A and B are shown apart, each in its own frame.
Chain A
Amino acid sequence: MERPVAVAEHAVSVAEPEAKKRRKPFSLSRAASYLQALPLWLVLGFFLLLPILLLLVVSFWDYDFSGLYPDFLTLNYEDVLGSWVTWKTYLNTLKFAAIVWAITLFVGFWIAYFLAFHVRKATTQTVLFLICTVPFLTSNIIRMISWIPVLGRNGLVNSTLIQLGIIPQPIEWLLYSDFAVVLAMVHLYTLFMVTPIFNTLMRIDRSLIEAARDAGASAFQVLWTVILPLAKPGMAIGTIFVVTLVMADFSTVQVMSGGQSASVALMMKNQMSLLQYPAAAANAVVLLAIVLLMVGGILRIVDIRKEL
């Protein structure tokens, strides 16, 4: 009685991939599927591949104050990589990325955890989640600018603290500082962390938590050994969002630091306003390479395929 079962199971598992491998013999239907994919190809080609290609080409061009000259120079890259200012700017941007990432991950995880495990009713869950997205109903700039009356020298925070007698004079570093930049970025980007983590947490089979409790796990052990490992893919996706957004940010850094802090994108913007397009392009290529490396690193550590 044992053998036929084993054979039957084996046969089933073998038959499936073979069925998938089989090619469609009909060439017209193959052409049709290419045709169906064509619009997407065109969109991606025109709006993604072509611009990147142009960026790459222009980054090797020559320029002066009045024009661009097609050429093949590595000078732009030498300028980017050889300048101490660029390195400092990159480090500063990476610093923002690291701090903002750590804070959004922490805050985002707990918000998602609360929504997924402590809010029982599905409607409450949806309502609370929608509330999380309310800030996104206004533009980035408005959300940023609205911090100014809060954090300013005579803003809400400072005047409240002074009136309560907690501090004798206004705190200077609240606005136009790295603190303000990080605060605004956390405010802008936390939702990008909450959403994917919430998604993964909702997919965790609740009986796994019961099984862990059955095996004697404390609340902390359940979190550490079951929930956190299973939330990793969501954390990775959120990390990719936040890191790429922070690395490419220029408006937040400019507005919230009052021009006192620099970021790579801000540097590029300045170069472009001086019509140094090839220099900006070289910078963009370097930034793109760094961000791609970071994303590649994240994908190596965490397998996010299950989530897609």
Chain B
Amino acid sequence: MSKAAEIELASVTKRYGSAVAVDAISLRIPAGTYCCLLGPSGCGKTSTLRMIAGHEDVSDGDILLGNTMITQLPPARRGTSMMFQSYALFPHLDLIDNVAFSLRMKGVERTERRNKALEMLKLMQMDGYASRRPAQLSGGQQQRVALARALITDPEALLLDEPLSALDPFLKIRMRAELKKLQTQLGITFVHVTHSQEEAMALADLIVIMNDGRIEQAATPREVFETPATAFVARFMGDHNVVSGRGAGSADGLALLDVPNGGKFAATGTAPGDGAPIDIAVRTDRVRLRPSDTKGLGFTGTISNIEYRGASVKLSVDGAGIEDFTAIVDERSFFEKPASVGEAVPVSWDAGDAIVLGRLAT
């Protein structure tokens, strides 16, 4: 069954009238990768997926699957298969006929296609429900049937449009594990659209973060987490504080910046010209509640909020021209020296935990 194919987008653009939904994005998704397209709503991730599937015309650019140019092909001849957001199971057909639908369209003989569909349902552990209608199933069961229907065409790539959004949080986590298992088992390329960072982190080999129709970063989850490429990525993933200011030269291999009406900070990376805008990211979980040894790697501020999270405590600190600076400290060290809202605390971090962020060319 394994015949994964690489997907390549070459400056693909989607315009609706004068509005640009997807702005000349280029992306290579290696064969057999679990790729998540991640971004806020309206960022163009669904349009991108639908263009790969062939349900949306490409305004400009080309899409390749393996060595085939599929830009102009109808959906069924692309070697892709799509699983729709609300599953789009045919309400008037039972599960077998739902799964066998594409075979029926191809003119496969009735008993043969029903046998194949039943096999597919068995793979999804849904063969016991074969003669039921979709409306009689729970959300998770419907998803399995939708998967069976999408996979029966033996696709080279499976395209999933927010597959987990219709499920309750508990089921979401279970079905997500099933998706991952299935992808490993089949070895084909999965492209999965989601707006949940957690989901993308848990599933993806390759996370593609999109904003305003452009790709902000395409990298492994670990890379996205440790070295976010842009301020948008750092903010969207939520594990970093983004501090913006103006370049102020460099010292000891660290880039320096001035925060307007605030302090001076340092971060690992190359400094832009003096006075040029610069963003740095500071890992929230590496912030400590003590004065810094090095200048520029900490400040003193007042606590504006404290959230207890069990294993950790989340503090919001205002000071040095920075608002809502998040520090996640582990529970034990916080309660050894507890602090309360309104109190002034020093916060600091290591040079390696503050990095200079890039900017997309405009």
Contact = CB atoms under 8 A, between A and B. Distances in A.
B55 A210 contact: yes
Interface string A208-230: 10111111111001000110011
B105 interface: yes
Contacts, number: 65
Interface of B: 53-55, 74-77, 81-82, 84-86, 88-92, 101-102, 104-106, 138, 149-150, 153, 170-171, 174
A212 to B, nearest CB: 7
A174 B341 CA distance: 91
Given A5-B171, A5-B174, A208-B90, A214 B106 contact: no
B84 A226 contact: no
Contacts of B76: 213-217
A234 to B, nearest CB: 13
A9 interface: yes
Contact of A9 (B75, B106, B138): B138
Given A5-B174, A215-B153, A216-B76, A210 B105 contact: no
Contacts of A208: 88, 90-91
Of listed A213, A215, A229, A230, residue having the most chain B CB within 10 A: A215
A138 interface: no
A225 B104 contact: yes
A207 B74 contact: no
Contacts of B82: 210-211, 214
Nearest to B75: A214
B81 A214 contact: yes
Contact of A215 (B101, B138, B174): B101
Given A5-B170, A5-B171, A214 B55 contact: yes
Nearest to A218: B105
Contact of B149 (A207, A210, A215, A217): A215
Given A210-B84, A216-B76, 14 more contacts: A5-B171, A5-B174, A207-B85, A208-B88, A208-B90, A208-B91, A210-B55, A211-B88, A211-B90, A213-B55, A214-B55, A214-B150, A216-B75, A230-B91
A18 interface: no
26 contacts: A207-B84, A208-B88, A208-B90, A210-B82, A210-B84, A210-B88, A211-B84, A212-B101, A213-B75, A214-B75, A214-B76, A215-B76, A215-B101, A215-B153, A216-B75, A216-B77, A216-B102, A216-B105, A216-B106, A216-B153, A218-B105, A225-B101, A225-B104, A225-B105, A229-B92, A230-B92
A214 B92 contact: no
Contacts of A226: 90
A9 B171 CA distance: 10
A205 interface: yes
Contacts of A205: 86, 88
A221 B54 CA distance: 18
Contacts of A229: 92
